[in-house]
Amino acid sequence: MDKELKNHISKLLKQEKRMDGRKPLDFRQPISVEYGVSATAEGSARVKIGETEVIGGVKLSLETPYDDTPDSGNLMVGVEMLPMSNPDFEAGPPSIDAIELGRVVDRGIRESKAIDTKKLCIEEGEKVWGVIVDICPINDAGNLFDACALAAVAALKDAKFPEIKDGKVDYKTKTDQSVPLATIPISVTVRKIGDGFIVDSTNDEESAIDARLTVAIDENGELAAMQKGGDVALTIEEVDKMVGIALEKEKELRSKL
Amino acid sequence: MGYEKRIDGRKKFEELRPIEAKAGVIKRADGSAYFKIGKTVAYAAVYGPRDLYPKFMQNPKKGILRCHYNMMPFSGQGDRVRPGANRRAKEISMITEKSLIPVINLEDFPNAVVDVFIELPQTDAGSRCAGITAASIALADAGIIMKDMVSAVAVGRVDDKLVVDLDYNEEAYEEGRAAADVPVAFLPNSGKLSLLQMDGNITKDELKKALEMGKEACKEIYEVQKKALKDKYQLGE
Amino acid sequence: MSELVVKNKEVVVPGEVLATGMDYLPGQGSYREGDNIHASILGLVNVDGRAIKLIPLSGRYLPKRGDTIIGKVIDVMMSGWRVELNCAYSAMLPLMGTSEYIMKGADLTKYFDLGDFMVAKITNVTSQKLVDLSTKGPGLRKLSGGRIMEVNTHKVPRIIGKQGSMVSMIKQATDCKIIVGQNGLVWILGEPDNELLAVKTIQKIEKESHVSGLTDKIKEFLEKETGKKLEVNVNGE
């Protein structure tokens, strides 16, 4: 829609430049992770990337397992695109963008086997832990994908099981037992505008992108989940290049945890 | 016996929990605020006046104020709060609107809307009052024309004592007479009241006293709101 | 007994008492209630003799007749263009408002297409905030290339400076074309690094608008950044 903006951004990218003065593959600074920001959650974290700010919170509850996985706990990850964080987000039921964002963050954690759901089983077929991660953006100044994924794993890292009393969760008392994490996935989203590639997009850049690729990467550098978005098709070479960029930038985000 | 000492260790029955407030915490919003009272935390963001959709809601004589109160899913004392507007959140959104409208002149923005979004990352009772207090800071920060600020707190009775700013444990106190919870909002300069709800039971005399206590407590909250706004602007943004 | 309760240039919040007694007169951003004058907006106190007014510090743009604004085309209609002004109300640029003679039924996108930016003048604002624009007049036109940045509309006078001195200094230092709209949108066209320097300079002015000797400070900053010797000239363009 905003063709002037798009022209401007792609013209700059040809010179390896961006509107805010960054290089194409620079993240905004500072990047910070703060743990324990919500006392009512079992685990929580605030992630800031430049001016983008999101809060992630984990709730743990006692549930019955699904019939097909009687010995496994349940995992759910969701993102609310709070209208507080961006003038373009609307109040009401989740938009398709919010659903995609939530599912992409969910798959990064699920498919990297970050949580060994077998360890969440208390009594086979009867009682398991349910782990629910909710991510709430406070200020969306761009790149919610990476910020939300980082907040989700940070909140999980912070999570402690509550006591069980008389078969019920006592939310007032936390144990010192952490949620077992087998690996920590980090998501990096690479975006293509014209012929250029960028990471950590701003709102302006996001309104002008042709394609995006989100790559979740585990601790061993293996790819655990991906999602291609945007209206323009990619060549195999382009995908290869974008994955290469993601692998390179993953370390920077991981070092902030 | 009666209720002799406050459970959380506060010295006086009219004492508020520790308060923190900051204006301008959400860059994308036209105005915003952070307000923490005890373990209850509220963010408020104001967008507008802006275009009002759907168009049939537009009124060429006056604008509308629209408030949205929402608990983050992990902000409750017990189980996860399911996302989306439930009946409780809808009612609180509505009474938040009603408590703010007396200070706002809707004729200033015909056909348009001022949206107020309140989000709570953690709560320990008093969340509607924290939301209203934060919203008032955010509205002023957004440059909305206002006759006064709005400051809110819950007062009530725990067993035989009238208390200010009940936390969750006090709300749930079961000994003696059943507790009463009275959330109030005051316009600090006119001394008038724009929010009044009550759950529990209370006598006419107790109510009068409790409201006076609420009015005094709101003056303290008002000073904190004022400071948050002055701190942001005194040295430039 | 009349008394000024606040100091000149102090930041005050809505509702705050500015003066007592009948000797003072309430100006912009304030109102009288009984014996007192109260603030009706977050602002900076400005006392001029017996008149007290408040200079707003925040808030969205309100369209005013005669303002030069930067707008974006959001709809192309039979009779003209709908233009967004970075505020609650969009404006209409009628065919008759352009400097060219346009035949009825012509393809209007040849003149202004969707998403195009323009610098225009507000010719009329009704009480219901219907806004009319015109591009007749020197310097009013379509804006091609470059970038748009958003600033606090209340800082626009500081960015322009006395008789245009500030903006002309930035133009001189950065070799950029710069147009500052009263509605808080600024258009900048130049070499990429220079555009960025212009943006940073304008952000610095926004942030430090309260500092005395701002022009000299900005001059020093720009001279250091560019290595150029700058002159402060007060003739605008």
pLDDT digits (tens, 9 = 90+) for B183-228: 999 999 999 999 999 999 899 999 999 999 999 999 999 999 999 9
Flag the least confident range among A1-15, A68-82, A100-114, B190-204: A1-15
- For residue C14, what are its two tokens? 């809505």
Give C209-236 pLDDT, tens digit per residue: 878 889 999 999 999 999 988 887 655 4
Please name the helix (run of DSSP H) or strand (run of DSSP E) that holds residue A7, with its range, or none. helix A3-14
User: CA C206, CA C157: separation in Å to the nearest integer?
Assistant: 10
Show me where the domains of chain A are located.
3-254
Q: Which of A185, A194, A198 is nearest to A242 (CA)?
A: A198
User: CA C200, CA C18: separation in Å to the nearest integer?
Assistant: 36
User: CA C71, CA B78: separation in Å to the nearest integer?
Assistant: 50
Question: What is the mean pLDDT of the segment spanning C67-94?
Answer: 95
pLDDT at A1 over 90: no
Structurally, chain B folds into a number of domains equal to 1
User: CA C73, CA C18: separation in Å to the nearest integer?
Assistant: 43
Domain that residue B195 falls in:
19-232
Give B89-103 pLDDT, tens digit per residue: 999 999 999 999 999
Cβ <8 Å between B145 and C41: yes
- Å from B83 to nearest chain C CA? 30
Question: What is the mean pLDDT of the segment spanning A125-132?
Answer: 95
Q: Which residues of B touch C14 (CB under 8 A)?
A: 103, 140, 145-149
Q: Which one of C41, C58, C87 has the shortest CB-CB distance to B146?
A: C41
Q: What is the 3-state secondary structure (H, E, C) of C89-120?
A: CCEEEEHHHCCCCCCCCCCHHHCCCCCCEEEE
- For residue C188, what are its two tokens? 């900048």
- DSSP β-bridge partners for residue B64: B113
Position A18 confidence tier, pLDDT thresholds 50, 70, 90: very high
- Are A84 and A140 a contacting pair, CB within 8 Å? no
Give B21-44 pLDDT, tens digit per residue: 999 999 999 999 999 999 999 999
Q: Which of A162, A166, A69, A64 is nearest to A110 (CA)?
A: A69
Q: How far apart are the first and last CA of chain A?
A: 37
Show me where the domains of chain C are located.
3-56, 68-143, 147-226
Q: Which residues of B touch C56 (CB under 8 A)?
A: 143
Q: Considering the domain boundaries, does residue B76 fall inside one?
A: yes
DSSP state for residue B148 in the 8-state scheme: S
- Are B118 and B43 a contacting pair, CB within 8 Å? yes
This model of the complex carries an ipTM of 0.95
Identity of residue B133: T
Q: Which residues of B touch A134 (CB under 8 A)?
A: 72-74, 80, 83
- Are C130 and C122 a contacting pair, CB within 8 Å? no
Residue C234: predicted pLDDT: 59
Q: Which residues of C touch B (CB under 8 A)?
A: 11, 13-17, 29, 31, 33, 38, 40-42, 44, 56-60, 87-90, 127-129, 152, 154, 206-211
Q: Which of C154, C178, C169, C150 is nearest to C214 (CA)?
A: C169
pLDDT at B178 over 90: no
DSSP state for residue C136 in the 8-state scheme: -
Q: Which of B184, B46, B36 is nearest to B104 (CA)?
A: B46
Q: Which residues of C touch A3 (CB under 8 A)?
A: 115
Cβ <8 Å between A40 and B84: no
Q: In the CATH scheme, what is the homologous superfamily, with its name and number, of domain C68-143?
A: Nucleic acid-binding proteins (2.40.50.140)
- Å from C59 to nearest chain B CA? 4
Residue C103: predicted pLDDT: 83
Q: Residues, chain B, total? A: 237
- Å from B228 to nearest chain C CA? 10
Q: Considering the domain boundaries, does residue B54 fall inside one?
A: yes
Cβ <8 Å between A85 and B45: yes
Return phi, psi of residue B67, to 5°: -110, 140
pLDDT at B236 over 80: no
Cβ <8 Å between B26 and A84: yes
Q: Considering the domain boundaries, does residue B119 fall inside one?
A: yes
User: CA B143, CA B233: separation in Å to the nearest integer?
Assistant: 12
Q: Considering the domain boundaries, does residue B1 fall inside one?
A: no
User: pTM for the complete prediction?
Assistant: 0.96
Q: Which of A129, A157, A112 is nearest to A72 (CA)?
A: A129
Domain C3-56, what fold? OB fold (Dihydrolipoamide Acetyltransferase, E2P) (2.40.50)
Q: Which residues of C touch B112 (CB under 8 A)?
A: 88-89, 129
User: CA C180, CA C109: separation in Å to the nearest integer?
Assistant: 25
* E strand map for chain C: 3-4, 11-12, 17-20, 25-26, 30-33, 36-39, 43-48, 51-56, 68-76, 80-84, 91-94, 117-125, 131-134, 141-143, 147-150, 177-180, 185-189
Question: What is the mean pLDDT of the segment spanning B45-64?
Answer: 93
- A257 Cβ partners below 8 Å, 6+ apart? A33, A150, A153, A154, A157, A184
Residue C140: predicted pLDDT: 96
Cβ <8 Å between B149 and C208: no
Give B103-137 pLDDT, tens digit per residue: 999 999 999 999 999 999 999 999 999 999 999 99
CATH code linked to domain C147-226: 3.30.1370.10
Return phi, psi of residue B177, to 5°: -70, 145
H helical segments located in chain B: 87-100, 127-141, 168-171, 204-234
Q: What is the DSSP string of A23-89?
A: -TTPPPS-EEEEE---TTSSEEEEEEETTEEEEEEEEEEEEPPPTT-TT--EEEEEE---TTS-TT-
CATH number at residue B43: 3.30.230.70
User: CA B176, CA A36: separation in Å to the nearest integer?
Assistant: 36
Residue C236: predicted pLDDT: 43
Q: Considering the domain boundaries, does residue B12 fall inside one?
A: no
- For residue C8, what are its two tokens? 């000149």
Identity of residue A159: A
Q: Considering the domain boundaries, does residue B143 fall inside one?
A: yes
Residue B234: predicted pLDDT: 80
Cβ <8 Å between B145 and C40: yes
Q: Which one of A39, A78, A80 has the shortest CB-CB distance to B122?
A: A39
Q: Which residues of C touch B230 (CB under 8 A)?
A: 11, 13
Domain A3-254, what fold? Ribosomal Protein S5; domain 2 (3.30.230)
Q: Considering the domain boundaries, does residue B132 fall inside one?
A: yes
- Å from B212 to nearest chain A CA? 32
Flag the least confident range among A8-22, C167-181, C206-220: C206-220
Number of Cβ pairs closer than 8 Å across A and C? 25
Q: Which of C196, C199, C194, C208 is nearest to C180 (CA)?
A: C199
User: CA B82, CA B75: separation in Å to the nearest integer?
Assistant: 11
- For residue A51, what are its two tokens? 């001016």
Cβ <8 Å between A41 and B78: no
Q: Which residues of B touch A (CB under 8 A)?
A: 25-29, 39, 41, 43-45, 47, 50, 68, 70, 72-80, 83-85, 115, 117-119, 121-124
Residue A125: predicted pLDDT: 92
Residue B237: predicted pLDDT: 39
Residue B1: predicted pLDDT: 65
